[in-house]
Amino acid sequence: MKHTVNEISLKNGAKGLLIHIPHASVMTFDINFRAGEYLVEPSKWEVPHLMEHVLLGANDLHPRARDFQAELEKNGAYSNATTGVYDITYEAECADFEWQRVLELLLIAISKPLFLEEEFAAEYGNVKEEMAARSNNHFRRLSLEMRQALGLIAKTDAERLKLMKNVKISDVVEHYRNTHHSANMRFVLAGNLTAGRRTVIEKLFQEIDLPERGKRFPLPSEVPKHLAKPVYVSNDTVENLYFYIDTFMKHRLDDAQTDALNLLNTMLTETLYSRILGTARERGLVYGMSSGLSQTKGASNWWFGAQVSEKNAPALLYIVTKELEKVLAGEIDDAEIASTKQYALGRFQRSAQTVGGTSAGYAGRYFFDEVIDDYYDVPARIRAVTKEQIIEVARDMFKQKIWGFGVLGNCGKTFAADLHTQLVPLWK
């Protein structure tokens, strides 16, 4: 969608992006605080998550959570909140005609929560149900086990359920007071943000009733380490096995490296004709496979994962290994790069066809390190990627020999170790 972006910095320390999309019929709000689990004691891990659940509840204007939700949603608006290791983000989307009403309600909820004991008790039960449901997600379970083993900040859902008993409502209130101040707030708003509306928005965020103190909390320093043996999570109820492969470099990718690795990632797994997934599908080895990039404050990660039968796992990892070895040896065809660029360009265009999609294209990076990506420059960046850049960044991801392999299932440790051995040549 055609749009313009302006960053505003307010006197109270808050900062945000206003994304003007002329004639948009909806408006989206994302309000972020650096207030995730890394800021609490490990024994109190679930405090941020419980706080997020209770905060969008009773407040100075609404005596019960149901009253607040009924008022916010009465014209079809949507609201939610998410908690992670680093951040808590409150979000809403509404029709254009009621944007100010919904934004004011969201800001009241954030700045004037009541944290009622009865609502805490109710949400405590809801969070337990949520965590129990999440524990059935085998990819999530394996990912968290691997993050812990690799030295990154994480706890499994089973651990989190056990730690919930340590959290009292007083902990929630204390965490709110420690983290919800204006200097720690970042926001991204998208919609038909005319000059008059931008003036109203700046005033609302400047006058939000939050303490004006401190700074934005810095991201934690996480240093990944090499795993000499596979992480094996036994689960006798799983017929197929789940696996993840992670490789790291101890510095952040720059934009050009990220573009090159994203393109390679597409080339390897993201289509049914891709090098790894396409080949595996042709041989009837696996239904689907995923891969992707992630970054911490000082490290970059490239991962691969799939669910596959024990019988087919060695053959699938053989394809993974051989295709990656070809890339590391520089065996990439120019025509293949050109076709992958065309796919990436089309996917990018599709990602920006809604207000929410456009906003999401800015929010993740902005909340992480306050960088404002130039959305209109992305097509040129994709076209500019060279074969040499792709090969170089791929080699860099294996050069430091920081990697791990994990398996969840009932295949046994010996079988998992055999699969691990198949992968070892990639880091030699």
Phi, psi dihedrals of residue 280, rounded to the nearest 5°: -65, -40
Domains of the chain listed by start with CATH number: 4-206 (3.30.830.10), 231-427 (3.30.830.10)
Other beta carbons within 10 Å of 19: 25
What is the per-residue pLDDT for 221?
94
Tokens 């070895």 belong to: 325
Instruction: With cut-offs at 50, 70 and 90, classify the pLDDT of residue 351.
Output: confident
Instruction: With cut-offs at 50, 70 and 90, classify the pLDDT of residue 380.
Output: very high
- Find out whether 191 and 200 touch, Cβ atoms under 8 Å: no
Q: Is the pLDDT of residue 352 over 90?
A: no
pLDDT in tens, 237-247: 999 999 999 99
What is the mean predicted confidence (pLDDT) over 295-301? 96
* Rounded Cα distance, 183 and 212, in Å: 6
What is the mean predicted confidence (pLDDT) over 149-170? 96
Burial category of 177 from C-beta neighbours within 10 Å (exposed 0-12, middle 13-18, buried 19 and up): exposed
Residue partners of 364: CB distance under 8 A and separation at least 6: none
What is the per-residue pLDDT for 349?
86
Tokens read off for 72: 């916010």
pLDDT in tens, 163-214: 999 999 999 999 999 999 999 999 999 999 999 999 999 999 999 999 998 8
* Rounded Cα distance, 67 and 73, in Å: 10
Range from 56-60, 312-316, 417-421 carrying the lowest mean pLDDT = 56-60
pLDDT in tens, 231-288: 999 999 999 999 999 999 999 999 999 999 999 999 999 999 999 999 999 999 999 9
What is the mean predicted confidence (pLDDT) over 109-127? 96
Q: Give SS3 for 170.
A: helix
* Rounded Cα distance, 27 and 24, in Å: 7
Q: What is the mean pLDDT of the chain?
A: 96
Tokens read off for 286: 């696996």
> Which ranges constitute the DSSP H helices of 135-254?
138-149, 157-163, 169-179, 195-206
Q: Is the pLDDT of residue 135 over 90?
A: no
What is the mean predicted confidence (pLDDT) over 33-51? 97
pTM: 0.94
Q: Contacts for 326-329 with beta carbons within 8 Å, 24 or more apart?
A: 326/275, 327/264, 327/268, 327/390, 327/391, 327/394, 328/391, 328/394, 328/395, 328/398, 328/426
Tokens read off for 237: 């109820």
CB-facing half-sphere around the CA of 356: CA atoms within 13 A: 8
Across 2-48, the runs of DSSP E, i.e. the strands, are 4-9, 15-20, 26-33
What is the mean predicted confidence (pLDDT) over 125-147? 93
Tokens 């972020």 belong to: 32
Q: Is the pLDDT of residue 108 over 90?
A: yes
What is the mean predicted confidence (pLDDT) over 137-143? 96
What is the per-residue pLDDT for 325?
98
Q: Is the pLDDT of residue 1 over 90?
A: no
